[in-house]
């Protein structure tokens, strides 16, 4: 069953949650949620194309889409930014000491939000083309 609209709708909701996390200084969660929003938006494209991707690397997902649509270097950069936040934002063993909350700040979270918005916008623009 093709569920691209469901995946994209949740991506948009996750993107809204990023700003809430930033407003309440949960910067590590803002970064993780930004990654999740982008991942769900890209997986919506895979759904629309009747394809599947197993995993969480936005960079690899976008590379897989490059045969169907043009992906810019700027978008690849956004994927690289967000790929760092899949694990390190949630687990203390991602750093030599301390908790993830100690390693993320508002500037990093805003960068993640910006990167996620670019990918979500790209996906929205391409959902009607696939």
Domain-by-domain residue ranges, the chain? 4-127
Burial class (CB in 10 A: 0-12, 13-18, 19+), 82: buried
Q: Assign 56 a pLDDT band (cuts: 50, 70, 90).
A: very high
CB-based contact 69:129 (threshold 8 Å): yes
Superfamily of domain 4-127: Nucleotidyltransferases  domain 2 (1.20.120.330)
> What are 85-95's pLDDT values in tens digits?
999 999 999 89
Lowest mean pLDDT among 5-14, 16-25, 52-61: 52-61
DSSP-assigned letter for residue 75: H
Closest listed residue to residue 46, CA positions, set 13, 7, 100: 7
Q: What is the pTM of this model?
A: 0.94
- Please list, residue by residue across 47-68, b when 16 or more beta carbons sit within 10 angstroms of its beta carbon and e when fewer do: bbbeeebeeebbbebbebbeee
Separation in Å, CA 109 to CA 4, 8, 112, 127: 27, 21, 5, 27
Binned at pLDDT 50, 70 and 90, residue 54 comes out as: confident
* Mean pLDDT across 71-97: 96
Q: How far is CA 70 from CA 84, 92, 122, 129, in A?
A: 23, 37, 10, 12
């Amino acid at each position: 069953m093709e569920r691209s609209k469901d995946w994209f709708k949740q991506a948009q909701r996750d993107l809204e949650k990023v700003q809430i996390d930033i407003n309440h200084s949960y910067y590590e969660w803002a970064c993780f949620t930004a990654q999740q929003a982008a991942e769900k938006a890209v997986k919506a494209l895979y759904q629309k194309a009747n394809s599947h991707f197993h995993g969480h690397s936005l960079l690899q997902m976008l590379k897989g889409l490059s045969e169907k649509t043009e992906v810019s270097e700027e978008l690849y950069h956004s994927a690289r930014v967000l790929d760092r936040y899949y694990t390190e934002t949630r687990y203390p063993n991602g750093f030599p000491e301390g908790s993830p909350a100690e390693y993320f700040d508002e500037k990093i979270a805003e960068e993640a939000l910006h990167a996620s918005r670019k990918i979500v916008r790209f996906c929205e623009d391409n959902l009607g083309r696939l």
